[in-house]
Amino acid sequence: MGKFIINQPRRVSRKKIIIPIIVILALVGVGIFIFRSINSPAEGIVSQTPPDSSQDIDPYASPGTYSGKYISFEYPADYKPMPSTLSGIFVEVDYFYGTKDKSKQISVDVSREALGDDSGLAYRREHPELYKPTAAAGGVIIFTGVDGHERTAYLEHAGLVVSVAVSSSNLNDLTADSQTVVSSLKWK
């Protein structure tokens, strides 16, 4: 019988195996980081003056301060910060709900876009039967709902747009609450 020569498999160097594995693991790690960043709640710091321990006081009876990644501002008394989640083009989203008047809420959203591309602003401009422009200064654009249930302000800075929407199901004057946030707003 003839001799069979069995070819030994060629040994692949460890470098040729380890480098692709490291690259794949790095790509998976980056993908997980991006996914978690997009789906994580907005991060910021809310501070309020704590009540005197000898008194039973509403902890939201005083105005508060919000400091996030892109903006900081003061919000009026009788509002409680609520958790929020980022979605779409928003890079920061902050919600506050009324503690005395439960129908009141404030929504502050920061998006990465130009003011002319903001769909909320475009909608308000295209529907004068629902929203009327309100005189404003310093680059602030304000619309008030004709039914009196909403007041929304828009500001632009360095490729970002912030919208400050104050709303209520009651016919409250929302001007003071809106003005508190808008006048104290600072970009970081």
Question: Tokens standing for 129?
Answer: 């039967």
Domain boundaries, the chain: 12-41, 66-187
The mean pLDDT value for 1-22 works out to 65
Cα(25)–Cα(164) distance, rounded to whole angstroms?
41
* E strand or H helix that includes residue 34: helix 14-38
pLDDT, average across residues 55-60: 72
**pLDDT value at 53 more than 70:** no
| Separation of alpha carbons 94 and 108, rounded Å | 5
State the architecture of 66-187 in CATH terms. Answer: 3-Layer(aba) Sandwich (3.40)
pLDDT digits (tens, 9 = 90+) for 139-155: 899 999 999 899 999 99
Of residues 20 and 84, the one with the higher pLDDT is 84
- Label each residue of 87-117 as H, E or C: CCCEEEEEEEEECCCCCCEEEEEEEECCHHH
Q: How far apart are CA 119 and CA 131, in angstroms?
A: 14
Q: What is the pLDDT of residues 175-187, one digit of tens each?
A: 999 999 999 999 9
The confidence score (pLDDT) of residue 66 equals 93
> Comparing C-alpha atoms, which of 74, 85, 72 is closest to residue 44?
72
Least confident of 7-11, 88-92, 93-97: 7-11
In angstroms, how far is CA 160 from the centroid of its own chain?
11
